[in-house]
Structure 1
Amino acid sequence: MPTPDVPLEKLGFLTIGLFDGADPAPGHENVLQVIELGEQLGFDSVYLRHRHFQTGISSPVAIMAAASQRTHRIAMGTAVTPLGWENPLRTAEDLATVDILSGGRVEPGFSVGPPTHWDDVKQALYPDTADAEDLSFERVARLLRMIRGEAVSTFSGTAGFEQFSARVEPHSPGLADRVWYGSGSGRSTRWAAEQGLNLLTSNITKPEPSDLEADGRWDFAAIQQRQIRLFKQHHPLGDAARVSQGLVVIPTDTATSEQKAKYRAYVDARTPRTSAPMGPPGPGLLAAPDILGTSQEIAERLYADAAFREVREVVFALPFSFEHADYVQILTDTATSLGPLLGWKPPV
């Protein structure tokens, strides 16, 4: 197995936080227990997916607030919050509040564009303003100005017995430096770099027609590598800019035979979507292959991955539909076996 010149610096994981719609409490408690386990195992970060009208986490900020009182070190983020669902001002208030409660551990990630099933939800979400809402990059830029503490209200001072600020309160210094953008295309990657944001890559990307290899294949790792290099090229920090790679990685070192069979069936069912972009017309979204095997086998595949060689941080995604015991096994193997093979060391 090749040895990296520079070891992996940060090891994180991502969870969707599934729950039973008829009894949601146990699923939410499991998420908090998984976050606690992640901290105990030494993970540097946990990221929460953001889902609406599904039995997955719809309010990751609330989950992070609860987890902030049950953990002490692990960073907590979103990967990602689609900002089209959110009011940037209220989001800035909530994030700053949780960042303060957690001691500066919030690392929120965002994306833009119309919410999923926009025509079906826009009347419930924005009954009076749906056609006027700006769902472009400017929505993130507006949120950033608020997080940074820029004046956004035209009034400040005293009104009666109350004091008012022109900036969003509370203000949490340093939070703006920990904001990520979830990019899947060259255009959004360059924009995120020019804003000085951190880059969250995932196991989904939107290739350009020019990304098609001469032999007719789509090479996900090569496409992602080009996007990461584009990001560093246009970021003020250059090669020092933070980039995190997110892939579905399933180590099987301590898995039972039943778990291994389940994991293999999961990966096999998802593999066809990795051969070509999904969704006509033209190139749509391309998925990376899930990586299943022992920690040594996974490490060898990662070192052969062109995009992995460009990063020093990872956020490995937990499969969506597994049981709590499966997540315990996967996280434990990741932290105790896979991480060290990648040069990562848990905090002392």
Structure 2
Amino acid sequence: MSVKEVPEEYLSGYAEILAEVGRTGRRLTRDEVEGRRALGEQAAESGHGLRALVIRHLAATRVAWPRTTSPESVLAAVEQAIDAFAGGYERAQRLAVRKEEAARREFIDDLLYGRSDPGRLAQRAERFGLRLAHAHAVAVAAGPEPYDDTHPVTRSVEAALLSRFGDRRILLTTKDGRLICVVPADQEEVVRYFAKQAHAATDGGRAAIGRPHPGAGGVVRSYEEALNALDLADRIGLDDPVLHAADLLVFPVLARDREAMADLVDSALGPLQQARGGAQPLLDTLHAYFDAGCVAAQAARTLRLSVRALTYRLERIHRLTGSDPTDPQHRYMLQTAAIGARLLDWPAKEL
């Protein structure tokens, strides 16, 4: 904004103050200082730039410079007046930022919890770069410490996303100490990149990506899927740095009927408790074997056993349970029971 575009109203009384100071050598009174601050606030609220306002004050100073035997007093008054004006301007700016942050936080809460009217929420979403008529996916990242919008980790991930993708209607925020990224469904590369950057920035944290869903309710659903994926990973010991809710759909299905799942675990795996050392070592063997795609050599490396020792354990499981992990006809039941054991934290907890 040029100097000419700054309205005279923001210089109201300035020339008179300088004239009075030139005659008396006094400093600005408290009322005069507050008046300059109030004008600074008004200028900020009207959207004028501080640089242009300061230049306009300096130009007015040249025009209104009084005849005086104490130029130092006039310079001190100029400094005092401009400082008060800038202070008011900055105060208004801080207030505007706080209001904007509060509005953004309220929107984030309403968006992720689905608490607002969908039509009004969609209108508010436009302000933050989202078009809720389209499908969106939500990614959530958690690390060893909680994060807020000003945390260096949040800033680092945000800078990486902006550098790579620019302004692509990406919403990056935090909620309950976690990093949240909401992106349009057709920008899968963005959410994958977010997960990668969040994993690195959080020093080995974990990210989960919900499935894309349409509408404002779809954002809530995708967010909940990502949260559930993180919770599930903690419960059953998944160590993948990036989780996809679409890959974990079987687990919620299995967990819906706890009584039936507990019965399956007890029937299929309960006999493992008869083994020397209890059920846990043999259950770990099943987990490693199934996680390795039933490849004995890979499972043995995971458990730091020889293939022969692993084979012995599998045979021991067969003898105790009557089900052979290497037999495709028995494998599904044992694997489902092993998943159930993870979900129910068995044998650490009783069924």
Could you say whether these structures have the same fold, taking a TM-score greater than 0.5 normalized by the shorter chain as the test? Answer: no
Higher relative helix content: 2
Larger RCO: 1 or 2 (CA < 8 Å, sep 6+): 1
TM-score by length of 2: 0.20
